Amino acid sequence: MGGKGKSAVYKNERALDDLLRIGSSITDLRRALSAKSGMNSRKRLHEEKSKEFIERMEATEKINEPLRLASTAKTNLETLLDALETKGTVRHGEWEQKMVSLDVALTEISRLSDKCAKAVKRLRVKVIKKNK
């Protein structure tokens, strides 16, 4: 992440914006996070956001390794496919909603994959023209 002594290339505004979008007042968030009881929904949501933030920042650190980023994405999708085909996903009360959310996420991933492929082609053409 950007900051004193850090390269601006590792700054990820989208990750930071998503982390800071807490969806409630600071007081409510503090109360939920400090609760002694098990995982309430607010606490669980904040933990999920925190994990996603860390994953995004780790990916940002690999910004100069596009093949590694693509390989990680491929591995994650292969693992998801294995889980779905072997019924590794456990059915529970929220299962149907999670599958709807998963469908939406996979549609977005497909769209991003197409954008990445087009960006690579544009970059290759640009580099070829520059080297002529």
DSSP string, the chain: --BTTB-GGG--HHHHHHHH--SS-HHHHHHHHH-SSS--HHHHHHHHHHHHHHHHHHHHHTTT-HHHHHHHHHHHHHHHHHHHHTT-SPP-TTHHHHHHHHHHHHHHHHHHHHHHHHHHHHHHHHHHHHH-
pLDDT in tens, 52-104: 888 888 877 787 888 999 999 999 999 999 988 887 666 666 777 888 899 99
Q: What is the mean pLDDT of residues 1-13?
A: 56
Query: Tens digits of per-residue pLDDT, 114-127?
Result: 999 999 999 988 88
The better pLDDT of the pair 8, 19 is held by 19
pLDDT at 22 over 80: no
Residue 1, pLDDT above cutoff 80: no
Taking every pair of Cα atoms in the chain, the longest distance, rounded to a whole number of angstroms, is 66
User: Is this prediction's pTM over 0.85?
Assistant: no
Q: Does 34 have pLDDT greater than 60?
A: yes
